[in-house]
Structure 1
């Protein structure tokens, strides 16, 4: 479920909505897919040092195709 109160800003590399390739290390320059529920329709490809106010601290997700341009992975959460 997406957060209803988007008041905490943070970087993608520390967000549970950041999804990267299965073997990717999570760094500033790692490219991945934003899988936050309200943003999924945009298929946003973001880097580890991107950020927004939909941030939720947590472990990133992993799925093949998350770092492709455009991303081809489906959200895994």
Structure 2
């Protein structure tokens, strides 16, 4: 496993709704620069090797199908 792997709920590239709780089943949007074109919706217990520790960003429309929020970082 990569040293940079981590859970979305602990990643600064995960963006969720303004009033959403940071939790395993909360749906958000991955706003990592290289992954933005794919509009990836993922829950807090998802993860990948583009992990960057930090608090998730927040914007309305982050959980829409597809996400309608603009990346906030």
**TM-score bracket for this pair, using the shorter chain length:** over 0.9
Count residues in correspondence: 72
| Match runs of 1:1-77 below 5 Å | 7-77=3-73
| TM norm structure 2 | 0.94
Deviating beyond 3 angstroms after TM superposition, the runs of 4 or more aligned structure 1 residues are none
CA distance in 2, matches of 1:27, 1:69: 19
Q: Secondary structure at the match of 2:68?
A: coil
| TM norm structure 1 | 0.89
Contact 1:7–1:54 at 8 Å: present in 2 too? no
Q: Which runs of 5+ in 2 are unaligned?
A: none
When the two chains are superposed, the root-mean-square deviation of aligned CA atoms in Å is 1.1
CA distance in 2, matches of 1:45, 1:9: 18
Contact 1:14–1:59 at 8 Å: present in 2 too? yes
Q: Which runs of 5+ in 1 are unaligned?
A: 1-5
